[in-house]
Amino acid sequence: MDGLVEEINENDLVVNCTSGKKVTINVGSAYPKDTESPRGGVEDMTRLAYLHEPGVLQNLKSRYALNEIYTYTGNILIAVNPFQRLPHLYNNHMMGIYKGAEFGELGPHPFAIADRSYRLMINNRISQAILVSGESGAGKTESTKMLMQYLAFMGGKAQAEGRSVQQQILESNPVLEAFGNAKTVRNNNSSRFGKFVEIQFDDNGKISGAAIRTYLLERSRVCQISDPERNYHCFYMLCAAPSEDCKKYKLGEAKTFHYLNQSNCIELDGLDDSKEYTDTRRAMSIVGISSDEQDAIFRVVAAILHLGNVEFAEGSEADSSMPKDEKSQFHLRTAAELFMCDEKGLEESLCKRVMATRGESITKNLDPRAAALSRDALSRIVYSRLFDWLVNKINSSIGQDPDSKILIGVLDIYGFESFKTNRLFNHFNFEFSNQHIFH
């Protein structure tokens, strides 16, 4: 809030605000304003006369009002989510403009950060790290995709037969998003895991390999969601798949499944889950996941949905449980078929607990509530293992270059900026030069 100090009383200031109000505040809450700062703000906030929080926020607000969503603070890029698609900012023409431009010569942009990292890596033969951090829903995932798009543009090789490394790197994004992203209160496509992408280059500056590491997948979302959020995208995609696929997995509408109907949000405006399913399978083929492997992946996804619809009632013995009715028995049987395991064995694993003590095993019955908790625990661990398998499969398909001496690492993870010490890169035998995009 802008204002003019009218009176000073010990530790208090009487301020006439530009809004017309007169307020009394503590002197510690007042900060000097740069009266010479342009009305539209400055591109690099190191040029501000006073680099304090109100000055920073005022500058970002002024630029945002002019649809300038990017601002520098030195070599840190501040990004403010515009909550709309701006494709003209990220096309091939724009990448060509930023290619080789001196840092700061053009307007603030993720392409400038990526180009600077690439140039430093090539010229100094020093590996680079770009940290993309900020709150959930701030736009980290989109920025990460733009960085990878630019690095593929700079380091891509001429198209050869088969799948190129840069193509596989880019197509890994929609695959991981399908299984690791979900709608949250703030964001329709929020990453519910952290990701570190290591892009390796040869001596000529061309992409020669890559590896993806993931962190902290939000497993609890598989079984429990709150309105108006959604579960992971892949569940809704599969329920909207072609009829032959739905029939194969014995699926109905998404709203019929317990793991999905805890929220009233089933469909997203502007998102066609049926098309997303087709696009995801195409991307899976590009990153080297065969048709049989894709069928197995979605068989597991469908099995988890069926497993979530198994309800339990009291069994014949004390504190025991059993599938509640024929409907629950159907979903249990279908889950067992899709998991390719014994139906009775699956039921016992949910309704009983085996404890090992002093070299012998004791089987204990579980009541209906404990059986439901066991069901959810199984769903979470199976989904987590499936996600890990996907990442490992993508890595093995893309392949790493053992001869690469330089790389660029891109980290997209919430909360990283609050760490007192950055030890993420200590296990590499490289000297890293860091860039940062903060949302």
Asked whether residue 135 is marked as a ligand-binding residue, the answer is yes
Catalytic residue annotation: 136-137, 141, 187, 190-191, 415, 417
Rounded CA separation 434/311 (Å): 51
SS (H, E, C) 221-277: HHCCCCCCCCCEHHHHHHHCCCHHHHHHCCCCCHHHCHHHHCCCCCCCCCCCHHHHH
Asked whether residue 157 is marked as a ligand-binding residue, the answer is no
Asked whether residue 343 is marked as a ligand-binding residue, the answer is no
Tally Cβ neighbours within 10 Å of residue 379: 20
Which amino acid belongs to residue 88? H
In sequence order, what are the residues at sequence separation of 6 or more whose Cβ sits closer than 8 angstroms to the Cβ of residue 3? 15, 16, 17, 18, 23
Asked whether residue 145 is marked as a ligand-binding residue, the answer is no
Q: Which two tokens stand for residue 239?
A: 């329920």
Asked whether residue 136 is marked as a ligand-binding residue, the answer is yes
* Residue 154 near residue 426 (C-beta atoms within 8 A): no
Asked whether residue 134 is marked as a ligand-binding residue, the answer is yes
* Residue 128 near residue 409 (C-beta atoms within 8 A): yes
Asked whether residue 40 is marked as a ligand-binding residue, the answer is no
Rounded CA separation 54/68 (Å): 18
The dihedral over CA atoms of 192, 196, 199, 200, expressed in degrees to the nearest 10, equals: -150
Rounded CA separation 271/172 (Å): 20
User: Which amino acids are annotated as binding site, given as ranges?
Assistant: 134-141
User: Which amino acids are annotated as binding site for ATP, given as ranges?
Assistant: 134-141
